[in-house]
Amino acid sequence: MANFSVMSAALSGRQRTTGARHALDGLLIHVRVVLNKTIGRSCSRCLQGLAAAILVVLIGASIAGCREGGQNVSNEDEIAPQRLFMFAAIKQRQPSAGIEAMRVNLGRRLYYDQHLSVNGTISCNSCHQLARYGVDPGQAVSKGYNGKPGGRNSPTVYNAGLQFVQFWDGRAATLAAQASGPMMNPVEMGMPSADHVLAYLHSNAAYVREFKAVYPGIEDPVTMDHVTSAIAIFEQGLVTPGRWDAYLAGDTGVLSAREKQGLRVFLDAGCAACHAGAGMGGNSYAQLGAYRDWPDQKSDPGRYAVTQQERDRMTFKVPTLRNVAETGPWFHDGKVTSLNEAVRLMGEYQLGRKFSAEEISSIASFLQALTGDLPQPYIQPQESAGVSQQPLADKHLHRMNGHSAQANSQRGE
Amino acid sequence: MRRLIWIIAVPIVVLLAAMQFRRPDYNLPPSVSEASLDAIHHPDPQIRSMLDRSCNACHSVQARIPWYGHIWPASELLQSDVRRGRAYLDFSNWDHLSPEMSRIRLLNACEAMRTGEMPLWYYRPMHPGAAPKSAEVNVFCGWARALSPGGVRTEEGQ
């Protein structure tokens, strides 16, 4: 046995190929002999052909299998720029001026205003914390105004303006369309209707003055369209360029050798088939479990709930990978708490690859490099002169709640 | 010797027979015609013909599964290729892509064909004539590059 091992180890690649061919020939001969004796010569030729085909397929599969796992991670060269054509750098937005800046300020104020929730306890920022990369850190799903959990993980609001649709299932086409959703969602901010939101804003003289200044020439500019538009304008400025963008711009020294290794594995494995573009995602839908059925097929059908089309079952918007290291837990249900585990699952269920521990680690290193810089001055809450932070009188709200029960989607994000 | 042959052959045959109960799942939901690349970008007939001949077997829900695609172990490899193929590129559900991603996928497809990475090497012998001619690849790549960064129709994918 020891001699056999030594001999095997000594075989060159070519010798191994020849040996394998001889073994295959020998096996085919044996099969032919057995089949001749058992079921006759003519039929045996058919079956022999089938057996040969099966063996060829097996060999092909084994080669494909070899290709999948345990790749060595090389760090020899810089990555050719042409391999990066599917990515795009982003830049920090120039500060706006004039009426545009006023709209940004109004949107920011609305974003931070807890009184846009029915009991004055949560704001947009409660579940999409701007100081924490736009998510509810550590929470699989966020809790609404009454402490009840939502249906999906709160996605980051940073770089949402780069995405082609909003929400995990893409049911809002724009940021403005998205902005009204949580306010009236019964498990999120819980406002029974748009009228309740507008009643609060109308009750606040400073808000009314500000809306009139920002949307001049309109008798009553305090409308839901203007509320969501102002929030969307503010959110458009929530971008986080960072080292990745400098790298794409040609400064190859900003990524470490380890991060470049990870990028190489990321590209070789095909992650960029979905995580590409300026947002590194957020620009397509994909079936979760495209290669292998995702273990949980029942809790959330994804976009199917919106379209009722079978092709959309378990389909979700591909999330952005910008700041992904800071936006855990991951996936639509927030059930994955380790970035390495998220990478492993993506390899297995999306790409049909069993990543080695080394590959997972290197990809995770690359993903760390996608963390950008928070636009600190831009996200600081600013008090408007005269804007009261008092909630709409509880009595008034209770009276309004009594006759309006909104049948909103409770799925949330 | 005969005994040895039986010892080897019988378990193999039994294993092959048993594995036939493992049915492949190609995950091919019904298509929606207006969602396809053809419906959205209207490539010319030459490109459509090439895509149908060279790509759609793995990169669309119109995948044509051959008879051996239902027999293990061939079914295992085919299932793997069809599911992986659609995960990377699915011409049937083009409305799942933003204009930005649409262009990226087309340019990736161009590069994969130009370098000979696609169709897969073991697909070609089983499908003579499937490999696109270089002239066809050039036409496809020219068409893909000509699409504006936002795609042909900017409302696509919304």
Q: Between chains, do A53 and B68 touch, taking CB under 8 Å as contact? A: yes
Establish if B39 touches chain A: CB-CB under 8 angstroms.
no
Establish if B40 touches chain A: CB-CB under 8 angstroms.
no
Nearest chain A residue to B90, by CA: A286
If asked whether residues A391 and A348 sit together in one domain, one would say no
Tokens representing A241?
A: 């360029």
Min Cα distance B86 → chain A (Å) is 8
Considering only CA atoms, which of A164, A160, A173, A155 is closest in space to residue A283?
Answer: A164
- What is the SS3 assignment for A157? coil
- pLDDT average, residue stretch A93-98: 87
If asked whether residues A273 and A145 sit together in one domain, one would say no
Whether A401 has a pLDDT exceeding 90, the answer reads no
If asked whether residues A116 and A215 sit together in one domain, one would say yes
Q: What is the CATH number of the domain that holds A170?
A: 1.10.760.10
Min Cα distance B77 → chain A (Å) is 6
- pLDDT average, residue stretch A156-181: 96
Residue A334 lies in a domain: no
If asked whether residues A82 and A161 sit together in one domain, one would say no
Residues of A taking part in catalysis:
188
Pick left, alpha or beta for residue B141 (phi over 0 → left; psi -120 to 50 → alpha; otherwise beta): alpha
Whether A392 has a pLDDT exceeding 60, the answer reads no
By CB neighbour count within 10 A (0-12 exposed, 13-18 middle, 19+ buried), where does A3 fall?
Answer: exposed
If asked whether residues A234 and A110 sit together in one domain, one would say yes
- pLDDT average, residue stretch A373-380: 96
Residue A327 lies in a domain: no
The torsion angles phi and psi of A172, rounded to 5 degrees, stand at -115, 130
- What is the SS3 assignment for A317? strand
Flag the least confident range among A172-176, A393-397, B36-40, B136-140.
A393-397
Establish if B93 touches chain A: CB-CB under 8 angstroms.
yes
Q: Which residues contact A229 (CB under 8 A, 6 or more apart)?
A: A103, A176
Residue A103 lies in a domain: yes
If asked whether residues A235 and A257 sit together in one domain, one would say no
Residue A137 lies in a domain: yes
| Contact predicate A299/A141, CB 8 Å | no
If asked whether residues A109 and A233 sit together in one domain, one would say yes
- The residue with greater pLDDT, A201 or B156, is A201
Establish if A306 touches chain B: CB-CB under 8 angstroms.
no
Say which residue the tokens 């001699």 belong to: A3
State the total domains in chain A.
2
State residue A94's pLDDT score.
86
Confidence category of residue B153, pLDDT binned at 50, 70, 90: very low
Q: Between chains, do B87 and A61 touch, taking CB under 8 Å as contact? A: no
With beta carbons under 8 A apart, name residues in chain A contacting B32.
309, 311
Q: Between chains, do A273 and B89 touch, taking CB under 8 Å as contact? A: yes
Whether A391 has a pLDDT exceeding 70, the answer reads no
Establish if A145 touches chain B: CB-CB under 8 angstroms.
no
If asked whether residues A361 and A380 sit together in one domain, one would say no
Sign of the four-CA dihedral A25, A29, A32, A34 = negative
**Beta-carbon neighbour count of residue A283 at 10 Å?**
26
The secondary structure of chain A in percent helix, strand, coil, rounded to multiples of 5, reads 50, 5, 45
Whether A257 has a pLDDT exceeding 80, the answer reads yes
**Beta-carbon neighbour count of residue B154 at 10 Å?**
11
If asked whether residues A111 and A234 sit together in one domain, one would say yes
Establish if B74 touches chain A: CB-CB under 8 angstroms.
yes
Flag the least confident range among A65-74, A187-196, A304-313.
A65-74
Residue A246 lies in a domain: no
Domain coverage including residue A396 = 98-239+376-411
Whether A386 has a pLDDT exceeding 50, the answer reads no
Residue A17 lies in a domain: yes
Whether B149 has a pLDDT exceeding 60, the answer reads no
Say which residue the tokens 């001049």 belong to: A216
Nearest to B80 among A270, A313, A352 (CB): A352
Whether A394 has a pLDDT exceeding 90, the answer reads no
Min Cα distance B143 → chain A (Å) is 17
The highest-confidence range among A2-6, A62-66, B47-51, by mean pLDDT, is B47-51
If asked whether residues A102 and A63 sit together in one domain, one would say no
If asked whether residues A234 and A104 sit together in one domain, one would say yes
Identify from B16, B31, B34, B93 which residue to disrupt to test chain A contact, counting A C-beta atoms within 10 A and taking the largest count: B93
Residue A127 lies in a domain: yes
Q: Between chains, do A311 and B93 touch, taking CB under 8 Å as contact? A: yes
pLDDT tens for A14-52 read 333 333 444 444 444 444 434 444 444 444 444 444 544
> Which uninterrupted H or E stretch holds A25?
helix A13-39
Whether B115 has a pLDDT exceeding 80, the answer reads yes
If asked whether residues A102 and A235 sit together in one domain, one would say yes
With beta carbons under 8 A apart, name residues in chain B contacting A57.
73-74, 77
Q: Between chains, do B98 and A164 touch, taking CB under 8 Å as contact? A: yes
- The residue with greater pLDDT, A243 or A33, is A243
State residue B78's pLDDT score.
93
Residue A286 lies in a domain: yes
- pLDDT average, residue stretch B61-81: 92
Confidence category of residue B1, pLDDT binned at 50, 70, 90: confident
pLDDT tens for B23-50 read 999 999 998 999 999 999 999 999 999 9
**Beta-carbon neighbour count of residue B80 at 10 Å?**
18
Establish if A311 touches chain B: CB-CB under 8 angstroms.
yes
Torsion angle, alpha carbons of A236, A241, A244, A247, to 10 = 120
Whether A13 has a pLDDT exceeding 90, the answer reads no
Establish if B31 touches chain A: CB-CB under 8 angstroms.
yes
Q: Between chains, do A273 and B87 touch, taking CB under 8 Å as contact? A: yes
Q: Between chains, do B98 and A311 touch, taking CB under 8 Å as contact? A: no
